[in-house]
Structure 1
Amino acid sequence: MDKSKWLTGATLGLFTAPDITAAQLAERGWSAANLQQFLRSGYSPSGTAFDEMHPVIANSTQYLSDADAKAMVSFLLGDSPPAPKPVAAAAPDTGTRLAAGQSHYMALCASCHGSQGLGRQLTMPPLQGNSTVRQADGRNLVLSILIGLPKRTAAESGPTLLPGMPGFANELDDQAVADLANYVRAQMGGTNADITTARAAELRAAAQKARHPIAP
């Protein structure tokens, strides 16, 4: 075991478990309050539980006492948590750079997540400031666009029952997936619009090879 990589995350199966060191949690906007809310409910303004994090919330952390949840947050963020980094303003758009991605977003995503990505409290996760959107590596965001996220039963999802999200692999080609991911990353995550068509194709192939076969 490489102890130098303590809490820095890794790809497990298909999705990537993100870096949860204090510095990187703060980099993606996590505050102590949001992290505690996430551990207890699987939902917070900074992100929601999906994939293999669902059973962790449903079977474990939702049952933490307030004191124990605070203790876990202190373990991760420290007694003096670093200030959560605000979402950076998107770089000025030339009017064409992100236009294709915006078009896909409005057609496929805005009806649930809202035109500004603000979501709906406890029913639809916000994308504005979402920690997955803000990850340096856009792997999880691209995979979510491709294969979606499953709807969970009350027993599986824990205290917050969120609807599933459909995948759009059959509606969007690799260029469109990259455009959509880049629009969301730039406009709602304040991060680099650096997802390439080749990267989208690579992750599509990974999903096909793993447990999520995608029809051509």
Structure 2
Amino acid sequence: MRLKAIGVLAGLLLGLVAAVAYLNVRGEDPIRDADTHAAVPRPTPMSTEQVARGRYLTQVGNCAGCHTRQGGAPLAGGRGLATPFGTVYTSNLTPDPSTGLGRWSEAEFWRAMHHGRSKDGRLLTPAFPYASYTHVTREDANAIYAYLQSLPPVEQAPQAHALRFPYNTQAALAVWRALYFRAADPAATLDNTRSPEWNRGAYLARGLGHCVECHSPRNALGATSTSLELTGGGLSGQGWYAPSLASAQEAGVSYWRTEDVVQLLKTGRTALASVQGPMAEVVYGSTQHWTESDLFALSTYLQAIPQVQTKPSAKLEPLPGKVQVQGAAVYDKHCAQCHGPQGQGATGAYPALAGNRAVTLARSDNLIAIVRAGGFAPVTPGNPQPYGMPPFSHVLTNADIAAVVSYIRTAWGNQAAPVSELEVLRLETAH
């Protein structure tokens, strides 16, 4: 009886392994021997137009933002990306034959983008957002490949990921892919009932723009939920929250003028809002370089996102008197000179805090991060000398930060929950 049970369990296990194996290769075309040539020299010449197109597309995808370490050569990799499972180090995208993409073929690069598989067939960690890049067309992937192959080669060996067991195993990646990944058909995502601008914007947002990677919540295994797409997500290891693009109370822009959305993406600021933190990096490294037509297309798509109706919050309790006094004192000493005694800000320089939805988000991560580490808008042609906010972590205690953030979130008609010193400490240790 026991042997029979063991046999049944073994059969189930083998069936599960077979299912995982099948789900990991479905839709993949095998790479032929002719496709695995050393890419230097390339057998077919790459046109100037294709290389230029690839350069633009790498900016659309902000590839340098992750694949360039501080002080390092552009796109030579080595930047550490914090995840809940450990640190992932980015790869060298230059055409160095020993440490970069120099011996990768066009077909192998496409497989990495579309299927998340390396040159040697190993599965890539989804910190490389192939779950988004699978929406990129083969033509665009080939152009990116052409541009990367045109770069000066940089010899920089990739650093091994520092992931905890079992997340550092191919088996774990295979199970994750079986559960959460399926290669997309870019053409199948087109919606004939929508305008060409909306379809282009959807392609950019879902593919190279990979907006879902930050602006969506993740489950315990790090996968985003399609049912909660673009409804906001915490940025692991950064201490920031990417607000919901599907809520007018957070970062939804359905009621904005399209030209204001374009301006925010192009310059990093408008009369309505400005970008800070990780989004400032996106504007600096990516969206300020987009064509006007692509910015208009993305704005059209963002404005069409169905908006989630946020339930009115329960009546907030008054701020405790001691916290009120402490927060007001900190604000008067460190904040009022720029943001005004009534939180009114200064037009064109310092944002108003009264009625600012970035201040009253349900999550206080961003406000705490700005008080602690400072806030800096990106330098762009449309905003060449942005005003910045200095960090205050060296002069304020966690209790001071909690008090002033709570004060700002409840003063001048703002209605948001106060934050505790424990919450400030939690975000500090999570950073």
TM over 0.5: yes
Asked if the contact 1:186/1:192 (under 8 Å) is kept, the reply is yes
Asked if the contact 2:377/2:388 (under 8 Å) is kept, the reply is yes
The unaligned stretches of length 5 or more in structure 1 are 84-89, 208-216
Q: Report the Cα offset of residue 191 of structure 1.
A: 3.2
Change (3 A) 1:75 1:99: same
How does 1:1-216 map onto structure 2 within 5 Å? 1-2=223-224, 3-7=226-230, 8-22=232-246, 24=247, 26-28=248-250, 30=253, 31-33=255-257, 34-64=260-290, 68-78=294-304, 98-150=324-376, 154=379, 157-160=380-383, 161-187=385-411, 190-207=414-431
Asked if the contact 2:277/2:375 (under 8 Å) is kept, the reply is yes
Asked if the contact 1:118/1:128 (under 8 Å) is kept, the reply is yes
CA deviations on 1:57-92 (whole Å, 9 max, x unpaired) are 234333556654443233123189799xxxxxx976
Larger Rg: 2
CA distance in 2: counterparts of 1:136 and 1:205, whole angstroms: 20
Where 1:185 maps in the other structure, the secondary structure is helix
Q: Report the Cα offset of residue 147 of structure 1.
A: 1.6
Asked if the contact 1:41/1:57 (under 8 Å) is kept, the reply is yes
Asked if the contact 2:402/2:419 (under 8 Å) is kept, the reply is yes
Asked if the contact 1:124/1:162 (under 8 Å) is kept, the reply is no
CA distance in 1: counterparts of 2:281 and 2:320, whole angstroms: 43
CA distance in 1: counterparts of 2:300 and 2:360, whole angstroms: 22
TM-score, normalising length: structure 1: 0.74
CA deviations on 1:142-168 (whole Å, 9 max, x unpaired) are 11111213576x4xx452232332221
How many aligned positions are there?
199
Asked if the contact 1:45/1:130 (under 8 Å) is kept, the reply is no
CA distance in 1: counterparts of 2:390 and 2:347, whole angstroms: 20
Task: State the one-letter code of the partner of 2:267.
Answer: S
Change (3 A) 1:191 1:44: farther
Where 2:411 maps in the other structure, the secondary structure is helix
Tell me which of the two structures has the higher relative contact order, counting C-alpha pairs closer than 8 angstroms and 6 or more residues apart: 1
Task: State the one-letter code of the partner of 2:375.
Answer: L
Task: State the one-letter code of the partner of 1:131.
Answer: R
Moved more, 72-81 or 2-11: 72-81
CA distance in 1: counterparts of 2:426 and 2:352, whole angstroms: 27
CA distance in 2: counterparts of 1:193 and 1:98, whole angstroms: 13
The unaligned stretches of length 5 or more in structure 2 are 1-222, 310-315
Q: Report the Cα offset of residue 115 of structure 1.
A: 1.5
Asked if the contact 1:134/1:190 (under 8 Å) is kept, the reply is yes
Change (3 A) 1:144 1:80: closer
Where 2:401 maps in the other structure, the secondary structure is helix
RMSD, aligned α-carbons: 3.4
CA deviations on 1:66-124 (whole Å, 9 max, x unpaired) are 654443233123189799xxxxxx97678655222111111101111122222222322
Q: Report the Cα offset of residue 182 of structure 1.
A: 0.5
Q: Report the Cα offset of residue 38 of structure 1.
A: 1.7
Asked if the contact 1:119/1:126 (under 8 Å) is kept, the reply is yes
CA deviations on 1:155-209 (whole Å, 9 max, x unpaired) are xx452232332221222212111110011111257232331111112223334xx
Q: Which residue of 2 aligns with 1:213?
A: none
Moved more, 97-106 or 174-183: 97-106
CA distance in 2: counterparts of 1:148 and 1:45, whole angstroms: 21
